[in-house]
Amino acid sequence: MSQPTVRAGYRVGSAQVRAAAPGRREARLRPEHADRYPGVQANEWVSAAMLCDCVIARELLSGLPVGWRDRVLAPEHFEFRGGEQEGHRPRREDR
């Protein structure tokens, strides 16, 4: 079986803007920080989990030291919507 190919030039998001699905956390890159995240479209709501994966992959593939400690998506750089209430953690069987 062939292995999936990882491409350095990725694009996150689509032109379609929609309301967040219940329980699904979404994030949107603030335009003033777009230069820090090549391939991520500013002002577009996308799955926060997918966005985290892309940001982590880009940093790991760059070979530079990883620049985050606590949160991958800095609240200063991204807006968030949806997801569970603050402090609520899903049960193991819900994950």
Domain map of the chain by residue range?
A: 25-83
pLDDT in tens, 22-35: 678 999 999 999 99
Q: What is the DSSP letter of 16?
A: -
pLDDT at 77: 95
Rounded Cα–Cα distance for residues 33 and 44 (Å): 13
pLDDT at 21: 57
Residue closest to 81 by CA, chosen among 43, 39, 37, 48? 48
pLDDT at 17: 40
Rounded Cα–Cα distance for residues 44 and 7 (Å): 21
Q: pLDDT below 70 — which residues of the chain?
A: 1-22, 67-68, 84-95
* Residues forming beta bridges with residue 42, ordered by sequence position: 29
Rounded Cα–Cα distance for residues 24 and 19 (Å): 10
